[in-house]
Amino acid sequence: MSIAAWMKQAHRNAGRLVALGVLQIVVGFVILLAPLAGGLAVAVVMGVAMIVGGVARLVAAFAADSFGIGALAFVWGLLVAAAGFYIFTNPGVGLVTLTLVLSMMFSVNGLTECVAAFHVRPERGWGWMLTGGLVSVLLALMVWRQFPLSGIWLVGTLLGVNLLMSGLTTTMIGSAARRVTGTV
């Protein structure tokens, strides 16, 4: 695609990008105001995704040429679909599970970054890497220390912040596309 064609397409979609970005910002703020509702929504969507994945695995099990492979796929599909149904019908359990998984992820990520920082020392930026790792470990400790209450705010807050930042980015891209193409 030529630059002229890209700019023409950017011009056509600039308004949509700005509108989408503003919508993301609004939804992000709403979720930040009600992080429990946002977290429960994430758990429900996760449950639905697991149900769909489990059912797909069950269907694939019947299409397998071998009983051994098909039986294993069937059992796995059944387990995933059942777990998804349980999370869908009990989103609080899914929210608690997600909180624990995120806390573990922050811990592992932070410790890995800290170790990596000392491996790249004295190169430029190693201190930032160490700081990022320490912040991740501190966040994990904060979540773990407040568990299970942290389940009320963590997932929803992370979703809200993500939507807010994504919305700002999308809005800025749309605005930049308008400026580049000469429309305001």
The DSSP annotation for 145-178 comes to HTTTTHHHHHHHHHHHHHHHHHHHHHHHHHHHHH
Encoded tokens for 74: 């069937």
Residue 19 lies inside a defined structural domain of this protein = yes
Mean pLDDT is lowest, of 6-20, 44-58, 85-99, 132-146, for 6-20
- pLDDT, tens digit, for every residue of 96-150? 988 999 899 999 999 999 999 999 888 888 888 999 999 999 999 999 999 888 8
> Is residue 36 predicted with pLDDT exceeding 90?
yes
What is the average pLDDT value for the chain, to the nearest integer?
87
Q: Give the residue with greater pLDDT, 12 vs 25.
A: 25
How many domains does the chain fold into?
1
Residue 55 lies inside a defined structural domain of this protein = yes
Domain hosting residue 68, numbered range: 11-180
Residue 3 lies inside a defined structural domain of this protein = no
Residue 138 lies inside a defined structural domain of this protein = yes
Cβ(156)–Cβ(42) under 8 Å?
Answer: yes
Cβ(168)–Cβ(28) under 8 Å?
Answer: no
What is the gyration radius of the CA atoms in the chain, in angstroms?
A: 22
Residue 164 lies inside a defined structural domain of this protein = yes
Cβ(25)–Cβ(164) under 8 Å?
Answer: yes
Residue 149 lies inside a defined structural domain of this protein = yes
This prediction has a pTM of: 0.71
Pairwise CA distance, residues 122 & 130, whole Å: 12
Residue 23 lies inside a defined structural domain of this protein = yes
Cβ(174)–Cβ(184) under 8 Å?
Answer: no
pLDDT of residue 112: 93
User: How large is the average pLDDT for residues 51-80?
Assistant: 85
Residue 4 lies inside a defined structural domain of this protein = no
In the chain, % helix, strand, coil (3-state, to 5) comes to 90, 0, 10
Cβ(153)–Cβ(34) under 8 Å?
Answer: no
pLDDT of residue 184: 43
